[in-house]
Structure 1
Amino acid sequence: MKNLRIKAALAGVLALTLSAGGALAASAAPTPAPSLEQMWLWNPDETIVQSTDVKAWDDPVYGYPLNAGFSDYDDMFTGPADAAAVFTFFSNPGDELDSQKWLGSGFNGFNDPALKTVLTPALRPIDIDGLGMAAAKANGGIYSVGIAFTDGAGVLVKGVTFVRVNVAPGGNYTYTPTIEGTVDPEPTGDSKDIDISADVQEAPGDLTFTVPTTSVALTTSINAQKLSESTGSITGITVADTRRTADRKGWDLTQSVANFVSGANTIDKANFGVKVTKTEGAAATAAAEQVAGSATYPSPFATAGAGVSTEPNTTLNADLKLVAPAGTPAGTYTSKMTLTLVSK
């Protein structure tokens, strides 16, 4: 049950934020920013990570402000009073207070926004997303990892609490805890800066969607209310957003339905229900159900917000239901459902 409490404390993590930054291993000279508080790393089994322990890039670890009492979960990190957001971050030493230079970050969330407290943040490097993380893992080096308190936009850093990690090429690492608001000083010596630039290009990509069928024949039976009820489904509707980062503004998929007609007889489209479910795609959201008898068309089918998703493909299913009003003459009724995809 104690591990379940860890998961609950981390449920505020909402999304990852990508940050541009250099991918070179840190040199010895930069001076790290002061840490607001002490920080130690802990394992999920509530044992402290010792400074001699070798951790893998994907080993789960959690930050805690004490080197004892982790099982009580009573102590939290506290940010400045003017902080509006909190992120996990991974940076070169000396870049802790500059969010634009972070190698990676992730939105963490406050335990109590009013008190600016954070409980047991997850700090394993594989979960911290950014343009510099792959090179940091491959090349190794000395880095800072912890939590940063920022303004609402996640740009201006108000303060940081972190530990130092020494990464071997390939991703295994040891760490130095932060004690009394400081980290072990870097060795003295000389360093030379090398400016590196690269023109990065992205393929234009596209926003497309596919529907696996052009017709659906519903199956009809008499329901408990003695009404004709016809049901069916469409599975595997796929939206693919492969556009470049600057063009990925999000999208809306909408639906419209015509009245059902059989000769001179009509069933109003309000009696046709659609329930959309998402089976794949982290960035998209299925629309609210249109209930047979009170459905409204046109209406939303699914939507996705702006930004780069690690899952650019979204797969949707739709359950369909037509409930004919009492007294509707028997017959084969037909209609047309139209799905329309537009970029935001």
Structure 2
Amino acid sequence: MSGTTTLRLSVLDQSPVGTGQTPADALAATAALAQEADELGYHRFWVAEHHDTEGFAGTAPEVLVGMLLERTRNLRIGSGGVLLPRYPARKVAETFRVLSALHPGRVDLGIGRAGGPARDFPDRVRELLRHLAPQPGDPASTPPPASPPAPPVWLLGAGTQSARLAAELGTSFAFAHFFSPDHGPIAFARFAEGPTGRASEHRALAVRVIAADTTRDADALADAYLLWRSRKDLGHDEPHPTTTHAARHRWTTDESARAAANRAALMHGTADDVGPRLLELARVHGVDELIVNTLTHDPEARAHSYRLLAKALL
């Protein structure tokens, strides 16, 4: 655990929209979850950015970040992440500088590369960093003397390219285990090889977890998630199904194949089962922070999963 026995738990929430729910319902559930995570002792609460999907409501993380900062007291609040290729780098920098000025020491700027050409991403990140932390003699990126402070930047990735870039540019790095469960150790090794020598507290592992009171309940929630994920992979973008719907569903061969593939990136069970596995996962990856992502139809089931993990690990 990188020389410490303390594990930080954080949240990545994607504002999932369940069958029969509205995007407004999903955003309200995100706000309620952040308030509870604050009370439970979680370290960070990040919100994601998704577009043109029936399953997620969060299209503007900077708006959610501002709202959540006002409704919480201790959590670091951030984006997980802003899809930088979609926006002018200067605008992203200015937005998060304002958020950081309003809530000093509590804002994270997580950056993702989806939404544009991958080859342009490194230059766009460099431009963003120039606006956030301008160098002497660079008038094009120098903010006014009274400019608000810059928040820390995290690069988010599921491979080695973002890890190398984070090391090169001196940002923090979060690896998406739920996208690529086998490549985390390699990515963190590349991150550690960078000239900046980033310390372990600037790395985190994002994991998909569902905890429940019983194995049976956890299995039912996992099956519902896997049905949604399988459908999405096959081009059927729909809201998240209920456990009842999943139990009655007649799986196609293609859906079953996708569920089998996606199961490797999902950790589910009781807290007594999941807790030790999460500790081992953190040890293997050399991190002392796990950013937990939980997707369920029922917001209460999602909140209860985070309660169980907090009780087991915090």
Q: TM-score range by the shorter chain?
A: under 0.3
Larger radius of gyration: 1
Structure with higher strand content: 1
Structure with higher helix content: 2
The normalised TM-score by structure 1 is 0.22
The normalised TM-score by structure 2 is 0.24
